[in-house]
Structure 1
Amino acid sequence: MSGLFALLVALVAVASVVLLAQGSIAIPIGEVLRALTGQGTESDLSRTIVLDARLPKVVTGLLAGAALAVGGAQMQTLFRNPLADPFVLGVSSGAVLGAAVVILGTSGVGWLAGLGVVSQLGVTGAAVAGAAGVLLIALGIARRVGDPVVVLVVGVMLGYLAGALVDMLVYYTDPDRLQALAGFTRGSVRNVTWDELGVIAASCGVVLVLSVFLAQPLNALLLGERYAGSLGVNVRRVHFLCLASVAVLSGITTAYCGAIGFVGLAAPHLARGLLRTSDHRLVLPASALIGSIIVLVAEYVAGGNGLTATSLPLNSVTAFVGAPVILWVLLSGRAKRSAR
């Protein structure tokens, strides 16, 4: 078990260094390591590229991938649904709607055109508010209905409704402003600066830190809410902490990086498959490492390798990982039911 975690940590380190070294200007790995450790580099340009242009992208990928994977594992446990992810209740669509209202409804162009950090926080706040609004509606319906399947369907419908409202805003807005909104439908970690990274790190950090304290309660929830309650677990509090933190995470990552799909769905299943256990004390940290690896490798394939002049949306690459995992989950579940 420790060997597996050591391998995952090594893969994260290798992927990070390679992504720092590769790009439109290739930098030797030795130069990258000297820049990271504060030693003198042969060129000031190399140091600037590594520390100012590429390091924020890599740190964002590490944090976002880890937090989305942990959030996905939590949502799968809460809803007892293997296909749940951080955006399962339409939170991502709500975040896009909130951001679209600010970007398309103001006189200036949004953060993709280079707004300062204050305006950036305004768009982010709107994205979080949109995500929280959708989540609160879904939870209100969930409290009345109580059926997890119905709650998931409601989340999908809320996502479609938010998407329809965004389409209406796009239809009635100035076409020159649409470029600012386009980034929210594509995943990317390339445009994140050090100032913006502080906000992303705070939201991702909340999810990652909470996961340490929620691992044991989530293990109890695997056996049912009634059993968890009999063990002294405050089920309502666990639900609220998980859902609220994941909602904020989804809103902020969508605002800054787009809705990075499939990571929160695929990474927990890969972690459980490798570890052959559902113990959250092991699954959550393994999911975090795998999520980071997926995002970093996907970013390298999408355009971080410097081999192409254009960059693919990050979602287009992560789908190649997530879609096979979904099929594997569905088919393995069907095989297990057939064997009984």
Structure 2
Amino acid sequence: MLHDPTTGKIWGTRCEGAIVEVTSGNAAKPKVQPKEFPGPDEAVAWAVKQEWSRLKKGFVLVNPAAEAGQPSMQRYIGGGYTGALMIAGCAGRVVTNRHQDEDASGAATDMLVLVGDDARTLHEWRPGKTDLAWSALPANDGTGFLIRFDSGIYLWPSDGSPAQRISDATVMSSPFLTTSNGHVAWHDSDHVTVMRLANRQRVLQLTRTPAMVGGHSRQMMGALSPNAAMLACCATPGEIEYIDIAQAETVRRHRSDFEMITKMEWSPDGRWLLALEQYGKWRLLCLDTATGACPSSWPNFADMTRADFALDADGKRLAILRRGQIILHDFADMREIRSFAIDHVVRTAHIAWTGDNAISVRTDYGCLSTYVI
């Protein structure tokens, strides 16, 4: 059931075949009306359209009793779609971006928005110039969120105070942002940098020039190991190198037939590296970090266009977003646990674990949701 936090009005629908039962009005004295359609498909389409219309008007969904596969929170974020869909969170709070057109407050830019589990906006921050926010991660020490802007890497404190740039200023955004065990890493100006967050000391800075894929895309992706002793880095299609951070040297290289890698993530035990391939076979790969081999039992995740994945903090459950659905797998044997469709998406979305049993989704339609897992 949706509700308007300002007026207290409610809105909800229940579809039974070609009949939609509409509940609306005052929560204390709701009005229930049936509405008939030619068929079930028309009934569902109307209900979805009406729900989206009310979300855009400021209604929100907050359902603490939501069951697995259902949204416990849903709201409209708004802003035009730029290709940047940023999402991260912890303890029920979610940070995302909303593109703001140029107005009296400043240039067109992405605003940072921190949302609580009750769908309220807790804090907002707007950069002073045009800047897109591409990805975010919770800082390991719980002090805030690391944000990958066009202009550099920022730390946005949880209290909503202005974000502070912790990297050098950049003209083009870093291709990746990764954090682990009190460290953060990124790439800019042909250098891979690893920084210790506590004292902002740069513990590694190595020259790595990204290869160009198709003459238009930079191949540069990195992921810190769980103990932050190693950085997996892909600067060339078909090759991943493992850099010992303390020694500042490559200790091994693994080569395979993959093309451009756009996302990488270690398993918490350090044994596996998940990698999302763009172009080529468009696969989700699982690579042994010691040998580079893919386990024979790994499913053939092909055609992963406009897809995303997220491994939970314990490394027990892998969520894959694909074709408008989230499929949850037991990571130990890749058995499918459940799948469910996400709401209000046109073509693409990004996902992040934001609680022990919660995954949040930011869609290209401007919707922010948290689903119970």
Both structures adopt the same fold (TM-score exceeding 0.5): no
- Normalised by the length of structure 2, the TM-score is 0.23
Question: Between Structure 1 and Structure 2, whose CA radius of gyration is higher?
Answer: 2
- Name the structure where helix makes up a greater proportion of residues: 1
Greater relative CO, 1 or 2 (CA 8 Å, sep 6+): 1
- Name the structure where strand makes up a greater proportion of residues: 2
